[in-house]
Chains A and B, each alone.
Chain A
Amino acid sequence: MVIKNTFLVALKAIYINKGRSILTMLGVIIGVASVVMLTAIGNGLQAYITDQFESLGSNNIIIAPGQVFSRKSSSSEGSSGGGSFGDPEARASSIANNKLKLSYALDLKRLREYVSYVAYANSIQDEASFQTKTKTVSLLGTNEDYPKIFSTELTRGVFFTKADEQGAERVAVLGSKVTEELFGTADPIGKKIKLGNLLFTVVGSAKSVGGSFGGPSFDEYVYIPYRTMSQVYDTQAVLSIYVKAKSKDSIPATIAAIEKELLKYLEEDEFSVFDQSEILSTINDILSMLTLGLGGIAAISLLVGGIGIMNIMLVSVTERTREIGLRKALGATPNQILIQFLIEAALLSVLGGLIGLGLAWLGTVAIQAVFPAKITLDAVMLSFGVSVVVGLVFGAAPASRAAKLSPIEALRYE
């Protein structure tokens, strides 16, 4: 009963000093809101990237020119993940000295024991136009296996066929944004668009899939047969080869087989073979560090908020010295005074924490319109828990000071 009364007394003291209480809580509000929001952004980004990778299909193996990852030991570490992206300069020069060839990709098709599909790709930027509308697009020259590897779904039409690719036909599959910008809601199938100076027949239109990683969105791609691109743009380059392994378990063995095959023509440092999980794991490692760093910086504001509470509580104890003396004269024990001030400090931080969580929720909902963000229970529990502990720890010194005040001295205080 007395504890309940003490709690009500503390609540009333906060209510009476509304303005000051809100200002005191501000530190905790900002602290909790920023910890929760920043970790929400970090976690959201991580979840988004994972989703994107998963939507690209599973069991995919990528072969790229040069050294993509700095190798730790053997290149056949498989999908254990980790590692870091290689030196950017070395990577740039390895792309310039790209030695991947179409024939290697065709050779990989023979590894039937491991491989389901093999796609090869080259990419060039150009303008696509239909009637009066023009859009800069990324042209991806590839083969019929590409949609099978990357689970590319079409809303209209079909992907071009093996015959289209081998016959270097002028056909194109449009990304959803390209379709939208050139054709609006009209059906593009069978229409002729201009790529560069040549006309291509649209055979398919892809479903919207969202962004790619750093590069243009997949929705802004125009897929054309590889051999058509080679002829039209006079290039033999293969920027990457994509392989779908038979199963997840066979990925390491497939990577080993691919490496063995490629080493027949290339040096060890002239190509990289890795699976999607390896990229994902590296990105996730970076994002986790980033989230932790951002959360840590935000946590400093929580600490500052705690110091703010201590400061105000000390002022409050001094200002309310006579009140403390009176309460003691009227029968409050030192413990009841201690608890009253501790509850006050804890309530300030708990209320601040709750408001902070509310703001973080609102902020996250607002951010979600433009950026993936995801509030996690861990971040909520941690920041809220920290704010309560901060309130209690920083409230302890002023509360103990209040409890120790002599009632006579306190009553005399001017």
Chain B
Amino acid sequence: MSKAVASHIKPLPGSALFSGPALVPILELKKVSKIYQIGDQTIRALNELSLTIHQGEFVAVMGPSGSGKSTFLQVASILATPTGGEILLNGKNVTEYNEIERAGLRNREIGFVFQQFNLLAKTSALEQVALPLVYTPGVSEAERLERSKAMLERFGLGDRLKNTPAELSGGQQQRVAIARALINNPSVIFADEPTGNLDSKSGRDVERILTELNDEGRTIIMVTHSQEAAEIAKREVFIKDGVIFSDKPIKNRRFPPKQK
């Protein structure tokens, strides 16, 4: 990892996660509900769901269609507000935060990796990665671009800085998106079907990157419907009907092959 990137990664609280006893909760959902009212119909997408995710965990959130896993992602990533319950991020209750505070939180504490990449058209890779920093107060343009360049170099895209999404392969686009998710050194990375839109080779590359990031101590929450994709995580949370159906460590964890 380059020095520029390393200087922006928050120090981990030792190897507590892996040694067992001193687990640091990073995201806590306490009896979180999300109820949608569509006409006369009340849809209880999340039903008093409680879950604690610790620093350095790699959690795969699974569930069938309509189980509430997408709603879980939205609520847990502070994109949507819960109807009931509390969400604690780094120990702070963020449930009552206003929209401006929530935007700031998403900017600094949360990284997103989407299935559709969600890159801006006609915008260079360098600018895509720098985008979150546009909304971070106190970051100069020079610093933005420098950090963005370092992050892209880390993911092997140092020669693609000026390329727009149309000039990048699917795998490269997703790597740009991952670089963007990491640019502000967030506490948690949310990945929504990150390999769902990729061919198998590019999918493996992205899986490897996620595994490596987790190995560095990054907390990753990945929503997926694919059992195979989930196997790279350490913990599998299965949601059904808006509640946690099962929550267990993944025994036969799959390690994507290292890049040759």
- Give me the interface of A with B, judged by CB distance under 8 Å: 1-2, 5-6, 9, 12, 16, 322-323, 325-336, 406-408, 411
Q: Is the CB of A331 within 8 A of B99?
A: no
A153, chain B: closest CB distance, angstroms: 66
Query: Which chain B residues border A16 with CB–CB below 8 Å?
Result: 121-123
- Give me the interface of B with A, judged by CB distance under 8 Å: 74, 77, 79-80, 99-100, 103-104, 106-108, 112, 114, 118, 120-123, 131-132, 134-141, 180, 184
B148, chain A: closest CB distance, angstroms: 13
B20, chain A: closest CB distance, angstroms: 34
Q: Is the CB of B112 within 8 A of A330?
A: yes
Query: Which chain B residues border A330 with CB–CB below 8 Å?
Result: 106-107, 112, 131-132, 135, 180
- B183 and chain A: residue at smallest CB distance: A330
Query: Which chain A residues border B120 with CB–CB below 8 Å?
Result: 323, 326
Q: Is the CB of B137 within 8 A of A407?
A: no
Pick the 9 closest A-B CB pairs, nearest first: A331-B107, A331-B135, A333-B103, A330-B132, A5-B134, A16-B122, A326-B118, A333-B100, A332-B135
- B114 and chain A: residue at smallest CB distance: A411
Query: Which chain A residues border B103 with CB–CB below 8 Å?
Result: 328, 331-334
A352, chain B: closest CB distance, angstroms: 22
- B139 and chain A: residue at smallest CB distance: A1
Query: Which chain B residues border A12 with CB–CB below 8 Å?
Result: 123
**From B104, B106, B122, B123, contact of A329 by CB (8 A):** B106
- A403 and chain B: residue at smallest CB distance: B99
B106, chain A: closest CB distance, angstroms: 5
| Distance A334 CA – B106 CA, assembled complex (angstroms) | 13
B193, chain A: closest CB distance, angstroms: 13
Q: Is the CB of A322 within 8 A of B74?
A: no
Give me 19 other A-B pairs in contact (C-beta within 8 A), A5-B134, A411-B79 excluded: A16-B121, A16-B123, A323-B120, A326-B118, A326-B131, A328-B103, A328-B106, A329-B77, A330-B107, A331-B108, A331-B184, A332-B103, A333-B99, A334-B100, A406-B80, A408-B74, A408-B79, A411-B114, A411-B118
| Distance A337 CA – B134 CA, assembled complex (angstroms) | 12
| Distance A330 CA – B80 CA, assembled complex (angstroms) | 14
Q: Is the CB of A336 within 8 A of B135?
A: yes
Q: Is the CB of B104 within 8 A of A331?
A: yes
Given contacts A1-B137, A408-B74, A411-B118, contact A329 B79 (CB under 8 A): yes
| Distance A411 CA – B80 CA, assembled complex (angstroms) | 12
Q: Is the CB of B136 within 8 A of A408?
A: no
- A5 and chain B: residue at smallest CB distance: B134
Q: Is the CB of B131 within 8 A of A327?
A: yes
B22, chain A: closest CB distance, angstroms: 31
Q: Is the CB of B138 within 8 A of A1?
A: yes
| Distance A41 CA – B99 CA, assembled complex (angstroms) | 53
B190, chain A: closest CB distance, angstroms: 9
**From B79, B118, B131, B135, contact of A2 by CB (8 A):** B135
Q: Is the CB of B106 within 8 A of A331?
A: yes
A315, chain B: closest CB distance, angstroms: 15
- A326 and chain B: residue at smallest CB distance: B118
Query: Which chain A residues border B184 with CB–CB below 8 Å?
Result: 331
Given contacts A408-B80, A411-B118, contact A2 B134 (CB under 8 A): yes
| Distance A333 CA – B123 CA, assembled complex (angstroms) | 21
Q: List 22 A-B contacts (CB under 8 A).
A: A2-B135, A2-B137, A9-B134, A12-B123, A16-B121, A16-B123, A325-B118, A327-B131, A327-B135, A329-B77, A329-B79, A330-B107, A330-B131, A330-B132, A331-B104, A331-B106, A332-B103, A333-B100, A334-B99, A334-B100, A334-B103, A411-B114
Q: Is the CB of A329 within 8 A of B134?
A: no
Query: Which chain B residues border A323 with CB–CB below 8 Å?
Result: 120
Given contacts A1-B138, A323-B120, A408-B74, contact A329 B80 (CB under 8 A): no
Query: Which chain A residues border B77 with CB–CB below 8 Å?
Result: 329
| Distance A364 CA – B91 CA, assembled complex (angstroms) | 68
B66, chain A: closest CB distance, angstroms: 15
Query: Which chain B residues border A322 with CB–CB below 8 Å?
Result: 118
| Distance A327 CA – B141 CA, assembled complex (angstroms) | 17
- B136 and chain A: residue at smallest CB distance: A331
- B140 and chain A: residue at smallest CB distance: A1
| Distance A327 CA – B114 CA, assembled complex (angstroms) | 13
B116, chain A: closest CB distance, angstroms: 8
Query: Which chain A residues border B136 with CB–CB below 8 Å?
Result: 331
Query: Which chain B residues border A327 with CB–CB below 8 Å?
Result: 131, 135
Query: Which chain B residues border A406 with CB–CB below 8 Å?
Result: 80
| Distance A408 CA – B104 CA, assembled complex (angstroms) | 16
Query: Which chain A residues border B123 with CB–CB below 8 Å?
Result: 12, 16
- B120 and chain A: residue at smallest CB distance: A323
B50, chain A: closest CB distance, angstroms: 22
| Distance A335 CA – B74 CA, assembled complex (angstroms) | 21
Query: Which chain A residues border B135 with CB–CB below 8 Å?
Result: 2, 5, 327, 330-333, 336
Residue among B79, B118, B135, B138 with max Cβ neighbours from chain A (10 Å):
B135
| Distance A6 CA – B132 CA, assembled complex (angstroms) | 12
A6, chain B: closest CB distance, angstroms: 8
| Distance A2 CA – B114 CA, assembled complex (angstroms) | 25
Query: Which chain A residues border B138 with CB–CB below 8 Å?
Result: 1
| Distance A12 CA – B121 CA, assembled complex (angstroms) | 12
Query: Which chain A residues border B114 with CB–CB below 8 Å?
Result: 411
- B106 and chain A: residue at smallest CB distance: A331
| Distance A329 CA – B139 CA, assembled complex (angstroms) | 19
| Distance A51 CA – B141 CA, assembled complex (angstroms) | 57
| Distance A6 CA – B137 CA, assembled complex (angstroms) | 12
- B111 and chain A: residue at smallest CB distance: A330
| Distance A328 CA – B78 CA, assembled complex (angstroms) | 11
A334, chain B: closest CB distance, angstroms: 6
| Distance A2 CA – B100 CA, assembled complex (angstroms) | 14
A206, chain B: closest CB distance, angstroms: 67
Query: Which chain B residues border A329 with CB–CB below 8 Å?
Result: 77, 79, 106, 112, 118
Query: Which chain A residues border B180 with CB–CB below 8 Å?
Result: 330
| Distance A1 CA – B100 CA, assembled complex (angstroms) | 17
| Distance A323 CA – B123 CA, assembled complex (angstroms) | 12
Query: Which chain A residues border B118 with CB–CB below 8 Å?
Result: 322, 325-326, 329, 411
Query: Which chain B residues border A408 with CB–CB below 8 Å?
Result: 74, 79-80
